[in-house]
């Protein structure tokens, strides 16, 4: 048995408005056994002292295209669960199993399988093309039969196809996520559960009045649609030439092949209009998110790793900071990355909170991110399913992975996209 106690200055359970003081978290094997006062701990129970730290639930990234070389980086950033929202079906199902068997390999994986797209599919390996609703329905059935957790619809589907995909998935009791190429109001009426990137939400991308925002928000609330805005990917694509991003010290956690792709990314060499459009949109996107949050729309948190300058795991810290910059309280931003994400990803019965009986997925942060979101980057210790993972060991694993070129669907699709493949 693996019994020990974590003794930090503060413990935030993933839902409360403040962190508790004087509380120890007891771990039994892979589970949280109890939360008790420090002074009640048995002197014979091994204790991990974490002075100056806040213990929080493991973070989650709800929008990832996973490569196995990212695993140590996610864990080092305190991300213990990810949702892969588009990958080769066979490959990601295999990675999900490998992650279950080796807790230090990377985070737990919730997966959607392939991006179910129109014809042609935008991504050769991550995507799957469909010419009609019958083909799309068949793909949904196949994915569910193979054991995916959720379904992802992609941008080239028209509204008829979106309706068909949602209908088929809901008939099989599966949650549906989409990168929309149609208006979100229409997709919401069709039953969509969640949309990514604020795609299809025209009002979020421009200056708008409260009434204009509320008209769209009313539809989202009426149909219980979740938003996963992935601010950080739009910010990075808009500022892809920003030299500060190229000198980010955290790039040691990104595979050299992915850094090379970022340096060759197509939008770096195009006319500035596209980049400026994204830069100009950021204040509007943040305004819409703040208003949606204030009205009670469920806000998930994802990043779109590994697109340019999105360092695995650490981009979750950046997205949290952008939520705070949009006007969310740090505690509300943290909820999006923990207990809210757990509900959206369908894993709330086993993780996402510090609560007796749940998996011991925990992160010790030096400082208090519940009050100062910047402290989230001060990761001291990561626990995945009760196993303590030291940052130095994870960095060594990352450096070992960097010695070999990754051969996986997202890397190969991106290499094709930038027109550079090593022979």
Q: What would the pLDDT profile of 90-123 be if each residue is shown by its tens digit?
A: 999 999 999 999 999 999 999 999 999 999 999 9
Last residue of a domain, one of 321, 347, 373: 347
Residue 318 lies in a domain: yes
Q: Are 230 and 319 in contact (CB under 8 A)?
A: yes
Residue 421 belongs to a domain: no
| pLDDT in the model for residue 421 | 46
In this structure, the strands spanning 47-57 and 3-11 are parallel
Nearest to 92 by CA among 74, 73, 106, 113: 113
pTM for the structure as a whole: 0.97
122 domain-assigned: yes
Within a domain: 409: no
Compute the residue count for the chain.
423
- Please give the torsion angle defined by the CA atoms of residues 99, 103, 109 and 113, in that order, rounded to the nearest 10 degrees: -10
pLDDT, tens only, 90-99: 999 999 999 9
Residue 406 lies in a domain: no
50 and 148 assigned to the same domain: no
Residues 89 and 177 placed together within one structural domain of the fold: yes
Q: Which of 314, 347, 380 is the last residue of a domain?
A: 347
Where does a domain end: 315, 347, 379?
A: 347
> Mean pLDDT across the stretch 309-320?
98
| CATH for 187 | 3.20.20.140
| Contact by Cβ (8 Å): 171, 189 | no
Q: Are residues 97 and 188 in the same domain?
A: yes
The helix/strand/coil state of 28 is: strand
Amino acid 108: pLDDT: 98
In terms of domains, do 238 and 280 share one?
Answer: yes
Residue 352 pLDDT > 80: yes
- Domain assignment present for 202: yes
Asked if 231 and 177 sit in the same domain, the reply is: yes
Number of domains in the chain: 2
SS3 content of the chain, % helix, strand, coil (to 5): 45, 20, 35
Summarised one tens digit per residue, pLDDT across range 16-35 is 999 999 999 999 999 999 99
**How do residues 197-227 score in pLDDT, each as one tens digit?**
999 999 999 999 999 999 999 999 999 999 9
Do 4 and 133 have their domain in common?
no
* Cα–Cα distances in angstroms (integers) from residue 189 to residues 46, 183, 225, in the given order: 54, 10, 10
Same-domain check for residues 247 and 329: yes
Does residue 314 fall inside a structural domain? yes
Q: Which domain holds residue 223?
A: 58-347
Q: Among the residues of 199-348, which ranges form H helices?
A: 210-222, 231-238, 243-246, 256-263, 273-295, 314-326, 330-335, 341-345
Structural domain contains residue 420:
no
**DSSP secondary structure, 178-206, as one string:** E--SS-HHHHHHTT--EEETTTT-GGGGS
The answer to whether the CB of 269 falls within 8 A of the CB of 198 is no
The CATH number assigned to the domain holding 20 equals: 2.30.40.10
How much is the pLDDT for 422? 46
Average pLDDT of the chain? 97
Instruction: Tell me the pLDDT band of 423, cut-offs 50, 70 and 90.
Output: very low
Tens-place pLDDT, residues 44-86: 999 999 999 999 999 999 999 999 999 999 999 999 999 999 9
Q: Give kind and range of the element (H or E) at residue 74.
A: helix 71-76
Residues 343 and 216 in one domain: yes
Q: Are residues 179 and 221 in the same domain?
A: yes
**Both 230 and 312 in a single domain?**
yes
4/109 same-domain check: no
User: 80 and 207, same structural domain?
Assistant: yes
């Amino acid at each position: 048995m693996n019994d020990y106690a974590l003794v930090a200055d503060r413990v935030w359970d993933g839902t409360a408005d403040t962190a508790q003081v004087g509380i120890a978290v007891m771990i039994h094997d892979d589970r949280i056994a109890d939360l008790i006062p420090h002074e009640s701990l048995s002197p014979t129970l091994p204790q991990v002292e974490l002075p100056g730290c806040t213990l929080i639930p493991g973070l989650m990234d709800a929008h990832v295209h996973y490569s196995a070389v990212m695993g140590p980086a996610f864990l080092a950033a305190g991300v213990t669960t990810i949702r892969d929202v588009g990958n080769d079906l066979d490959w990601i199902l295999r990675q999900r199993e490998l992650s279950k068997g080796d807790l230090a390999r990377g985070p737990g994986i919730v997966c959607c399988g392939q991006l179910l797209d129109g014809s042609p599919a935008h991504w050769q390996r991550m995507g799957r093309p469909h010419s009609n609703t019958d083909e799309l329905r068949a793909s949904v059935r196949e994915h569910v039969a193979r054991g995916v957790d959720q379904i992802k619809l992609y941008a080239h589907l028209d509204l008829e196809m979106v309706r068909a995909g949602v209908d088929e998935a809901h008939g099989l009791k599966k949650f549906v996520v989409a990168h929309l190429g149609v208006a979100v109001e229409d997709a919401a009426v069709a039953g969509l559960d969640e949309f990514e990137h604020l795609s299809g939400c025209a009002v979020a991308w421009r200056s708008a009045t409260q009434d204009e925002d509320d008209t769209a928000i009313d539809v989202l609330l009426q149909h219980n649609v979740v938003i996963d805005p992935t601010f950080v990917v739009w910010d990075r694509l808009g500022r892809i030439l920003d030299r500060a991003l190229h000198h980010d010290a955290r790039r040691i956690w990104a595979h050299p092949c992915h850094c090379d792709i970022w340096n060759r990314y197509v939008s770096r060499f195009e006319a500035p209009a596209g980049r400026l459009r994204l830069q100009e949109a950021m204040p509007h996107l943040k305004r819409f998110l703040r208003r949606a949050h204030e009205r009670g729309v469920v806000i998930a948190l994802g990043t779109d790793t590994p697109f340019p300058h999105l360092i695995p795991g650490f981009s979750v810290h950046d997205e949290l900071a952008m939520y705070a910059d949009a006007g969310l309280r740090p505690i509300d931003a943290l909820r999006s990355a923990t207990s809210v994400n757990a509900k959206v990803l369908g894993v709330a019965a086993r993780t996402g909170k510090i609560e007796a009986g749940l998996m011991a997925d925990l992160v010790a942060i030096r400082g208090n991110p519940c009050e100062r979101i910047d402290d989230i980057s001060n990761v001291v210790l990561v626990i995945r399913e009760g196993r303590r993972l030291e940052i130095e060991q994870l960095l060594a694993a990352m450096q070992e992975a960097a010695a070999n070129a990754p051969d996986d669907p997202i890397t190969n699709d991106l290499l094709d996209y930038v027109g550079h493949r090593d022979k």
